[in-house]
Structure 1
Amino acid sequence: MQQLLPKDFLATANIQQAIVVEFENKKTNFMIKKYGNDQYFNLKNLNHIKRIRKSEENPSNVQFFMRLKDDFNEEIEQNIPEEIKPYLLKEVEVAVNMPRTKEQFLQFNKYWPITYKVQQYEIVQFNDFEQQEINQIMRQCIDQAKQTYEKNNKFNACAIFDPNKKKILQFAVDETCRKQNSIKHCIMNIMKLFGENYIVTAQQKAITEKVKVKQDEDMNDSSKEMVQNTSQQEKEKKDEDRLEEEEEEEEKKKDKINVKRKSEESIEESLSSYYYCTGLDVFIVQEPCIMCSMALIHSRVRRVYYSLKNPKQEQFGGLNDDLMINHMDSLNHSFLVFQNVESEYANTTLKSNQQQDQLQK
């Protein structure tokens, strides 16, 4: 298994020369107020770079970041503000690529001070138990994919897993009949099923609440009746056998009501405990296409695990190294991706199915 990280997460520092102006520390506030947002001191897309640092040569001075050397032409130099001209201009090295990890931040920050925003992406290390759990879930998906392939569908299946409850909530398989224009991909199918089984509407909640109230009333009536019967029988003391039978019957009724109540509470809990797929993991045999990858974005999953790359990766795969929809800054959600989970078992199973197909033909 391999975590699929954006290329810039593994990048080294892209070092470029920059022009800074050095002046006395007492001028710092004045310079920041006057030129902190001035177009002349243009940071372009370098928002992670800090404006000021202390001078390494002279502790009583500070250095103010002006712009990259490549942007510092003769015209810019001639238009230097009057307050800046008396001061010394220097060249320094700066890392222009934004740090995505703490390790990168520590490396890049050695050149010129930068800021670091903790990313949603982190490099995950699994222990042996977690690795085994992931492999077992993927193997179940692969076995489901084998069965649906034998029914003339694509070799694909998926599962939604709750990492907190350690429970598979939903399975779904491909139902496209191997047609390119079908939208019955397993991801689309599982989102439909999950919505029907775990997402509740306001109207459904109201109905469930009414059922609970009715059950409570039945429970109270049954309890009152049991007390009245018991009191009467104790006073009369005529038919102890009948009293025992009635008590047993009432207990059975009470148990039935409790079972129904617990069942209803269980249903309500399952319906109301999930906001889309927030915090849930999706396991899928083959890499989701672009359409399914967008569905995963909208469903707000936590992680996606897949075994095999999309057969037409360049055209359709949405979570591979080339496209990585889950990492697009323009989208309002992102999630972690892990590839090659039980890929050997998946490849062996797929090849076996394909060989059987050829023999039948």
Structure 2
Amino acid sequence: MPHQGKEFSDDKDKLCLALREKVKQVGGCGAENGPREPKTCSVVVSPIQPQQASKLVPVLSELLPLNDGLSHLKRVRRVSFAGNAASVELEIVLCRDEVWEHRKADASEVLKSFNLQLEKRMVPATAPLSREELRKWGDLWPLIFKPGKHLHKPPSPVELRDMYNHMSRTTELAESVEVPPNCAVAAVLVHPASGEVVACGLDKSQRHARVSDGTFTVNTKLSHAVMNCLSSFASPHIPTISNEEEQKNTDKMGKKQLKRASCLPNDQYLCTGLDCYVSREPCVMCSMALLHSRIRRVVFACFNPEHVGGFSEAKIHKESALNHRFEAFLVPVKEIDSEMRSCKT
């Protein structure tokens, strides 16, 4: 029931305090042991003349933004020729190799007037976490260094409330459609800017199999909630939900059908820029699937009592050997709700 006036304001303040106390970022930054050797990835670049830069950079920022884990790269670097310091050429980075393969058909058409000569370069795959790393890695490609960015920066009050609201709805969805022997686990993909739900998935890893002498349970780990959610999003067609009760409860997430939301571009690359809400911490396999999908952030409501936690234990999302990193947060909605109820009594 909605609150009015001062009472509503008090409840908002109490919720903010509870969220600040209970919401935790999971995993370390990876900078604890001094300068690291750079992990590299392959990108597509092209030499350009200095006078081309002012026109080309805005086009690339719109067409191929460096938001796929490459925001630490400077878009352009100077290349001086040995013995001729006055002769200066520029190199411009377009995108990762795999992104170019996905986008080259339409991107080539837009960029053809610039007469680019595409080459490949190995560049640092992650942002430097210290000035020492900035100096060491800058030989590969000029980098952007933001002191302290790798340290934990608490989400804003608005972000905390959004995380809490999405996590609450995800938990409610999981509990409302629990079908034994499956667990009450749900995963939801959300576009953070619009708040739209773009895909849902439920745990279907356990199923009954009948044989002549009885029934036994089959464990299919590829049907964990996260895997089903990612599969639903990746499907070019609207997925069918066979269980009517599951469809009805999925509608509670604000979707009449599971389909791509209007907020996403037609050429959306995997899950770039999306957040995943899971009612229970993903296992290592599901965490790797989220990483390969280029997820922006993962939020879960409780730790995993059955499997090694992909974030709290394996720390997949902060592994320096991998070419993508993202944030993971614990938002214990049941603890927060319990604290809010106790404040009202």
TM-score by length of 1: 0.44
Structure with more relative contact order (C-alpha pairs < 8 Å, separation 6 or more): 2
TM-score by length of 2: 0.46
Greater per-residue helix proportion = 1
